[in-house]
């Protein structure tokens, strides 16, 4: 398996822009060195723009489009819109929480999550962040991030709750989650916190763009025992990615073979998990046990 770690994953717009510019250059049959000589930008800088590792400006992109002979105004404007959109994301809403977000590249995850059109998430130990109540989020962050001050904990709670707004917008992403029974059985905070959390899951899974499945203990060992992961899909032509986390770092997989492997595991998990209606029944039973 190829482990590809991104300190800050490229925005969806930058990845689309990189692919478009690379395609236009190749169609014009120009090398990076030749383009470099014409627009007076180093070949190395142009290469990083084409891989998405570096942003760019409308002025430079206009020069590149002229160099590639792109005269169609609609095409030019479409590409320039990608530049503007990437620039607009340089100061997203979570920047003011940078002190607590940046320690594990959480900002990179938020960049991708905010642009995804669909997500498939597997959680063996915790309720997924997009589905956590305030009480659950505060309790779990307090215990898992013992190095944080109370003020920093509250900052991360605010970030987590703000993230959830994307599920309630005009065009929310489709969300499919498989939650292991261990995540539901483990008391986080108190019995009342857990009861409220389960009731929140019951209310949330009624939304048409959200599918929730319960992976029961009696199903035994399965392919997801390696740990949690999130598959994120975007508008074409941006490819799907996988995001995983550990104690000190985060890893973003972009290689198609890696993504396919995780997608196969998710298909295995949802095939073994209880269906949505049976999942709701189990949630109701567990909620009553906590009353």
d(CA 255, CA 260): 9
pLDDT tens per residue, range 187-230:
999 999 999 999 999 999 999 999 999 999 998 899 998 999 99
Determine the pLDDT at residue 121.
96
What is the pLDDT, as a whole number, of residue 261? 95
What is the model's pLDDT at position 208?
A: 93
Looking at the domain covering 93-289, what would its CATH class be?
Answer: alpha beta
CA distances to 26, 56, 64, 258 from 241, in Å = 25, 23, 29, 9
Ranges of the chain with pLDDT below 70: 1-11, 88-107
Residue 30's nearest CA partner among 63, 56, 65, 67 is 67
Looking at residue 91, what is its pLDDT?
60
Q: Which CATH superfamily is domain 12-88 in?
A: lambda repressor-like DNA-binding domains (1.10.260.40)
Q: What is the pLDDT at residue 32?
A: 92
Which part of the chain is CATH 3.30.870? 93-289
What is the reported pLDDT for 82? Answer: 83
Q: Please tell me whether the peptide bond between 139 and the residue prior to it is cis, using omega within 30 degrees of 0.
A: no
pLDDT of residue 87: 74
């Amino acid at each position: 398996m190829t482990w590809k770690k991104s300190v800050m994953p490229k925005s969806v717009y930058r990845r689309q822009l990189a692919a478009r510019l690379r395609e236009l250059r190749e169609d014009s049959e120009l090398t990076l060195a030749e383009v470099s000589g014409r627009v007076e930008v180093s070949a190395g800088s142009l290469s990083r723009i084409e891989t998405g590792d570096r942003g760019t400006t409308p002025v430079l992109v206009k020069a590149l489009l002229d160099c590639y002979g792109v005269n169609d105004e609609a095409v030019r404007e479409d590409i320039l819109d990608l530049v503007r959109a990437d620039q607009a994301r340089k100061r997203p809403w979570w920047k003011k929480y940078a002190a607590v977000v940046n320690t594990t590249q959480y900002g990179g995850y938020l960049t991708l999550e905010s642009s995804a059109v669909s997500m498939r998430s597997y959680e063996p130990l915790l309720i997924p962040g997009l589905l956590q109540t305030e009480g659950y989020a505060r309790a779990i962050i307090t215990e898992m991030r013992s190095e944080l001050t109370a003020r920093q904990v509250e900052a991360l709670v605010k970030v987590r709750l703000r993230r959830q707004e994307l599920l309630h917008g005009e065009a929310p992403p489709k969300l499919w989650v498989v939650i292991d029974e261990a995540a539901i059985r483990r008391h986080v905070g108190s019995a009342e916190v857990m009861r409220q959390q389960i009731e929140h899951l019951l209310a949330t899974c009624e939304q048409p763009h959200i599918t929730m499945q319960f992976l029961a203990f009696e199903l035994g060992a399965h392919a997801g025992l390696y740990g949690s992961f999130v598959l994120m899909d975007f508008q074409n032509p941006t490819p799907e990615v996988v995001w995983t986390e550990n104690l000190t770092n985060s890893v973003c997989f972009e290689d198609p073979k890696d993504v396919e492997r995780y997608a196969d595991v998710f298909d295995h998990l949802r095939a073994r998990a209880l269906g949505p209606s049976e999942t709701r029944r189990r949630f109701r039973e567990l909620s009553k046990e906590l009353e």
